[in-house]
Amino acid sequence: MIRKIKDVKSMFPRILAFILLAVLIYSMPVGIYAKGNGIKDITLCPGGMPFGVRFYTRGVLIVGVTEVVCSNGKESPALDAGLHAKDVITEINGKEVNTVDEVSESIGESSGQTLELKVKRSNKEIKISLTPVASEPDGIYRAGLWIRDSTAGIGTVTFINPKNNTFAGLGHGICDVDTGELMPLLRGTVSNVTINGVTKGIKGIPGELKGYFSTEICGSLLGNTLTGVYGQMDNITSDSLPKSMSLASGDEVHEGEAYILCTVGSEQADEYKVEIVKIDKNNSDCKNFVIKIVDPALLEKTGGIVQGMSGSPVIQDGKLCGAVTHVLVNDPTSGYGIFIENMLKNMPEVVK
């Protein structure tokens, strides 16, 4: 009896460690344990419906620098200060700025005095001194900056979580059209979209879904990452959602038949046949596999994959396995897709 008690005592640290490990694994959020078979117990409602987003940046993005015509000829205060395209101005003289108007007002009212800027560059914060100059012939103080604080566009919902009405879409981030940089999100709104036209894709020129936003806001955008956008839908009832389905891990995705869900000139998402022709399991970004559109109906309508279809869910073997992300410009019938588990593991905490 004494020997048995001693054995139990000696095993206690290992038993405690095992219990703590089990608790840790059980408590991990979806975005962390969504690897391999870890997603087998998750079910989500596939999307396929279009959504419109109005996106406002955190800070103001510099998309270019230029010269200012002044009394001394041409000067470029922004270039002289060391500012570059892709920089994000977050503060001027200690005051937070998030709009083009705020930056323009600070520069215009500077009277040529040096402004102290806080700038985000490649995930680092730096301080820069900027001295505007008076332009000719209007006398307005300028810095020679092209800046942007917002954008808008159409994409496709990939999935909706029926437990809390959070959603993911696009399968890639919203990036600035000029710099290609991921835009830092301050806030964003989501609206329903009616598709009323299609520009077919041809070799060298991507096509595009055309539509218009509803005047009513139906949700909020809460995250913008390299693997998709995430947010919250409002006023959704369970009976209005598609039937939820199981998810496929990246290891389960294989070359062969599949289908996508997307809305092209109709009021609901339809199924279209595709082939998964290549898989890259080592890519952790948004180009995990290549799909080819083989459905004659979709080829007739769009010519293949077009802008606005990003986020269209990819279904294989009865499971949601990923989303369409990009079109191959030289072959609009083909494009890239992302594994659904990569979209899950990058979900912001606020929408898990």
Q: What is the DSSP letter of 175?
A: B
Query: Is there a contact between 81 and 132 (Cβ–Cβ < 8 Å)?
Result: no
Q: Decide if 240 is catalytic.
A: no
| Cα–Cα distance for residue pair 116/132, rounded to 1 Å | 11
CA distances from 27 to 22, 177, 348 (A): 9, 39, 16
Residues 181, 147 contacting (CB under 8 angstroms): no
Three-class DSSP category at 252? coil
* 270 among known catalytic residues: no
- In the Cβ-directed half-sphere of 214, how many Cα atoms lie within 13 Å? 12
Which among 304, 290, 283 has a CA at the least distance from the CA of 336?
A: 290
Tokens of 201: 């894709």
Residue 202 phi/psi, 5-degree rounding, is: -130, 165
DSSP string, 122-149: TTEEEEEEE--EE-TTT--EE--EEEEE
Helices and strands counted in the chain (H then E): 6, 23
User: Is the Cβ–Cβ distance between 327 and 335 less than 8 Å?
Assistant: yes
d(CA 239, CA 55): 29
For the question of residue 310 being annotated catalytic, the response is yes
Given the residues 104, 310, 312, 334, select the one marked as catalytic.
Answer: 310
Choose, from 172, 191, 244, 334, the residue flagged as catalytic. Answer: 172
Residues tagged active-site: 172, 295, 310
